Structure 1
């Protein structure tokens, strides 16, 4: 059956994290030798921040407890970056973790931004830090945390492009967690936005629809 597999053609056009379910599917069906699948996973992981996972796969593939020096160095870089982002986002994460404080938020985003700045000294920099923190959490494979932070970010973000980017990320996270009902809601929301949004060019709108098709294909898997 391997000769009919299109994964090698599709994978370069897709976001790295979204290729993993496809590799898991191929591994379960034993279309390829485990060694080939594991090597493919390592290649994917070389471009993202799931360094511990990459190390575990390397150990399994080579039957050793040792890992290459570049993996160790990469892990140190990821941890350092995560600490920096964690510190930058700490004020707004602390606020959003307190349900009593969250009840002060309203549907009016401008009110929320003014209130956060005036009462809690949380401004645009901290809101942007929340987006960067959520994005990094996604890249590290913490899809649950990323989905939660991106949802909260969209409730505060006033930049339509940034908000749309966050919605793409949340949809991907929900699919990867197999939260199908929530993923369907986000898919429908994205469809509405893509159909109604005034894109700078028809090509940009076409690209968005193609990405939506990629995500829908994973949803159907």
Structure 2
């Protein structure tokens, strides 16, 4: 039986989600998922060398993909840009099929050995949001937009995890406040740029920041690959 990489990972993730509420993103969960799917342990390790950690990453990226699809299907033509960003973050939260899985993931990525991975995932979510909304910045703003949104998204997720209000209305209000605060910062930055005195003072730093460019994006490529699982 031929099993593709993506199919095997999807099967493992779907199976793991049944065990995460009880065992977290742990080795016990990974072994249970392997048993439930009937995949060879060798195949499962080839797909997820880091075990449950790779499945937690896949779960997060699944949510990102669902958010991107929702934004593409939505009509944002009459919305202000700050409202588009807020809507994208809401879509990302709505893409979560299991809140406990996110809670367990937050615990996992709070561990020192996985903190960098967690930060990378949050940055990736912010990057996906800006990309799907059509961000075309190629200078220092590319970084500041994603760094700022990463902070807003992280704070909103933590608030959302403890929110039991109807329809997560409290989280929605929290998100709006955070974005309003960011917009105030942008207004202050605009005033600084318009000030002749401050413009001269910041001429050096601004010149230096002007040399910063967004990273070159490599085209996404599909690498074929499958293997034949041993027959039972």
Which structure has more RCO (C-alpha within 8 Å, separation ≥ 6)? Answer: 2
Same fold (TM over 0.5): no
Structure with the greater alpha carbon radius of gyration:
2
Could you tell me the TM-score, scaled by structure 2's length?
Answer: 0.27
Report the structure, 1 or 2, having the larger helix content.
1
Could you tell me the TM-score, scaled by structure 1's length?
Answer: 0.28
